Structure 1
């Protein structure tokens, strides 16, 4: 019994570490996926820097107690896998949502993103958001546009004045 208890303690510590390094954690129900489909999903996660793990629900509940991820306890029923967003908090939800389009058996359940609990609808909304880079690009474009228009106006005004001075 001591050997089993020690193994569970090690597993709980591993789970705690995964959660402590994560900006987000998204729960999925993977029942019904084939081995090939799970391998494909894992590959997509690996390419994006997302950690994808299956743990026993009771061990996860112990590990997330008194942490910002504790709200996930209510969703830890049945077989679950957890996608941990280490660098980008939104990418796990995006990958799962895109993958689920072609694999109806994969189901998003809930998640914690940047410390906030998100139910299924909220996770889907987050997955639909443009990437951080796209949002920054849009912002910079909107800031740049008035300045560029003003510079164009001044340039034309100067050319017009120079044209009138020559005539």
Structure 2
């Protein structure tokens, strides 16, 4: 490609020589020699133009590949951001559920302690037993929710690996 301007200059110089020679003399041998030289330079110019066109085509192909790669990278980045957001939301929800479970466990321990004391005194408190059982059922439900959140978090992390993303 750097030779194109040089070839163009040589072609112009040869053309000028040819025109000058044709104007100044009627020497056909010299004119034919210069015409042959001009034809040679025109062939070089044509070859250089073809090489330039081919290089431009390759350059456009590389630009298209680069754009496709950038688009794919952006799609992967967006997918990863969504995945991180999903995992973060699941983590926050799991932490909230875990806090609830801990509170229910404390309450259940308190109720069970009161129930043991009532049993030691041989006084069965129906309301205390009922409250204890309700707290235990609530604690079991909350524990199940925490387990579900944990499973969903694991699945969210594994889904891209299984899908091959």
TM-score w.r.t. length of structure 1: 0.28
Which structure has more strand as a fraction of its residues? 1
Larger Cα-atom Rg: 2
Which structure has more helix as a fraction of its residues? 2
TM-score w.r.t. length of structure 2: 0.28
Q: Which structure has the higher relative contact order (CA within 8 Å, separation 6+)? A: 1
